[in-house]
Structure 1
């Protein structure tokens, strides 16, 4: 009997795994900063994290292009959120540095990666 090759889940994509890892690192960075500032960080991924997981798991049903477009919009929204936060004159220097030197550049890299994947994704 011939073995059937399992179709790769979009969430297992070698191109998306680094984005997932960067988001996990961003969460860890924020949690550590919140602890250092005396706060108690949130432990869940929030609405967007839940939505992203659903999109990745449903990519075979939705189609990879639709899933990638949805993820791209989420990344763009996140970048806009970071840019908006950076406009706050009262933002602590620790938070500003984290966003400017790490989080926003990573977000912009994710956008470029997803744009490239969309250009090559089948309809």
Structure 2
């Protein structure tokens, strides 16, 4: 096999985990209607859902079988988000920011792989990585706001 689909499935698990984690954050924010961040968090969640779908398509197109769950990373992020929700909004936003930073690192690591299919490399460079960086900027603004 010219490429290792497990690397792409790792990225897919990250995205599935992000959707699950942002959904948890949205559930909390929706219970507090005065929270202005809900629309921005919802938009980020939808971006991660779209990114997961794009990765699934690329894995299938390149002859692989996409993972269906978030694995251990998803379990860990659910625990972190559950604890952050008890502490407060800033802690939850900080946990989300950590997830985005990890995602950026995983995409940067994937781009170092020499056997990464060209269509996946292009997707990461033009869409997925820039999205992650944009999410990080949004979360930083939300964390820094009063």
Asked if TM exceeds 0.5, the reply is: yes
Shift, 1:37, TM fit: 1.1
2:108 pairs with 1:90: no
Shift of the 14–50 alpha-carbon distance from structure 1 to 2, 3 Å rule, reads farther
Tell me which of 55, 59, 64 is aligned to 1:39: 64
2:132 pairs with 1:107: yes
Higher helix share: 2
2:48 pairs with 1:23: yes
- Number of residue equivalences: 115
Please tell me the root mean square deviation across aligned C-alpha atoms, in Å. 2.3
Larger-Rg structure: 1
Shift, 1:53, TM fit: 4.6
> TM-score, normalised on structure 1?
0.81
Structure 1 runs of 4+ with >6 Å offset: none
Shift, 1:34, TM fit: 0.9
> TM-score, normalised on structure 2?
0.69
Name structure 2 gaps, 5 residues minimum. 1-30
2:90 pairs with 1:65: yes
